[in-house]
Amino acid sequence: MPTENIAQDFGQYAEMVAADYLAQKGFTILAQNFRYKRFEIDLIVKKGKLIVFVEVKARKNSLFGNPETFVNQKKIRALRLAAAHYLRIQNSVQAIRFDIIAVLGSKEQVTEIVHLEDGFY
């Protein structure tokens, strides 16, 4: 199996892990893999009146840096645009937040989940 497919499979698995993690923390999952044009938001969740847009980053290990450090300015701009579109189509004016969930490990064993609230603005 090509390395890219293994990484993509783990990325999709990490999104499921993150969704389960957030559900256990009392969040309601509103959307997964929400797309706007060529942009994608991994998870959109809600807790109380707060809507949270979540970027999930997964890596086998932190040898080349922690997963959350791979959320760059280009990605942040894309997430903001997609979030604005989501809010527009939902006709929502609720409080929002952008979080990052970093998942380390593999499909066989997740070794760490880091939830960064207000990961960026």
Q: Are the CB atoms for 85 and 98 separated by under 8 Å? A: no
C-alpha distances in Å from residue 69, one per residue of 60, 73, 101: 14, 11, 11
pLDDT computed for residue 52 by the predictor: 97
pLDDT computed for residue 111 by the predictor: 82
pTM of the model: 0.86
Q: Which pLDDT tens digit goes with each residue over 83-105?
A: 999 999 998 778 999 999 999 88
Q: Which pLDDT tens digit goes with each residue over 9-49?
A: 888 999 999 999 999 999 999 999 999 999 999 999 999 99
* Residue 63 region by backbone torsions, left for phi larger than 0, else alpha for psi between -120 and 50, else beta: alpha
Domains, the chain, ordered by start: 3-120 (3.40.1350.10)
Residue 49 phi, psi (nearest 5): -100, 10
Q: How confident is the model at residue 5 (pLDDT cuts 50, 70, 90)?
A: low
Q: Are strands 50-59 and 110-120 parallel, antiparallel or unpaired?
A: unpaired
pLDDT computed for residue 9 by the predictor: 82
Q: Sheet with 28-36: list strands edge to edge.
A: 28-36, 39-47, 50-59, 95-105, 110-120
